[in-house]
Amino acid sequence: KGTGASYGFPRLSSMGAAIEASAKSSDLDALASSLKELAGYLDTITMT
């Protein structure tokens, strides 16, 4: 969660923090939502 910004992906770091917080609090609905958001975000990344 903490190194995404170092590689130019600050949104990835914030999403990782949200996933971690949801998991720690056992908020399964928020966790599922965050994981879906992460999957969608990862689909938009292209490597050149």
pTM summary value: 0.79
What's the pLDDT band for 1 if we cut at 50, 70, 90?
low
In one-letter notation, the amino acid at residue 21 is A
Q: How far apart are CA 10 and CA 13, in angstroms?
A: 5
Taking the C-alpha atoms of residue 8 and residue 3, their distance in angstroms, rounded to an integer, is: 9
How many whole angstroms separate alpha carbon 30 and alpha carbon 38?
12
| pLDDT reading at 2 higher than 70 | no
